Amino acid sequence: MADLTGKTALVTGSVQGIGLAVAEALARAGARIAVHGLGGDEQIREVCDGLKDKGAPQAEFFHGDLRDPGQVTHLMQAVADWGGADILVNNAGIQQTAPLAQMPWESWQQILQVNLSAAFLTMQAALPVMAERGYGRVINIASVHGLVASREKSPYVAAKHGLVGLSRVAALEYAAKGSKETGGVTVNCLCPGWTETAIIAPQIEDRAAAHGGDRAAGIADLLAEKQPSLRTSDPAEIGALALWLCDPLAHNMTGAAIPVDGGWTAQ
C-alpha cells in the first residue's frame, strides 16, 4: 500500500459514496484529508472522526458550493492555507435526466459547472504547486459516461466527456514535472459504471422486489442492458484504485481514463 504520510488530499464530495471511499483509502495510507461536500454538521463530524480513526492525522471540512466559481476559488485558497493539496480528487457531481429538447438551460449550466468547470478551477489552482513540489496527483472521477453516451443525459455526458479531455490536456502539460524519485505529477480519470451508492439503492430494491426479494437477481436484471459482468462495483474498489494511482510507482500512469465498468465500454 502506498505510504502517503505527509501528503494532503482534497476530495470533493467526500461525505458519502465514492468520494468517502476514496478519502478512507487515502486516510488509511496516512494522508491528511480535506473533506468537502453536502452534509449536516453531525454527518460532517462523523466523517472527519471516522477518517482520523482510519489513520488520517488530520481531517477537516472545507465548504464550497461548486456551482459558484468564486466559492471554488475560496475553497482552494482555504486548502492552500492549510498546506495545499498534494492529491486532488474531483469527485463531486450532480445529474438530471430529461430528453435533450426538454432539458432546462439552468440544469445544463449547473451540471456543467459542478461536473466540469469546478474541476478546471481546482486543477488550475493545484497543479502549479504540485509541479513545484515534484509530486502531485489529480484523480478525476469521471464516469463510464465520459467514454460512452446514454439517452436523456446530455449535460452529464457532455461534462464527463469534457472532464476526460481536460484531464488529458493537463496530463500532457505536466507530464515532465518531477521525477521518478519524487513521483512526478499525474492526471487521470476513473470511469465507474454501476457502483453501489445511495443513488442507485432504490432501483436495486425495486428490481429485487420484482424477483421475490432476491437482491443479486435484481442487480443482474438492472445491469443486464449495459454491464456484462452483471455485478456492481463497491465504492471501496474505486478507493483502492485511486490509492494505487497515488503511489510514486505510478509516476508514468498519466492521461488515462480507466473504466471500472464490468465490460460496459468493451462492447
Active site residues: 156
Strand ranges (E), 48-203: 59-61, 87-90, 135-141, 184-192
116 by Cβ neighbours in 10 Å (0-12 / 13-18 / 19+) ranks as buried
What is the distance between the alpha carbons of residues 47 and 60, in angstroms, rounded to a whole number? 9
User: In terms of Cα–Cα distance, which of 11, 65, 38 is closest to 246?
Assistant: 11
If you ran DSSP here, which 8-state letter would residue 232 be given?
P
What is the distance between the alpha carbons of residues 245 and 2, in angstroms, rounded to a whole number? 9
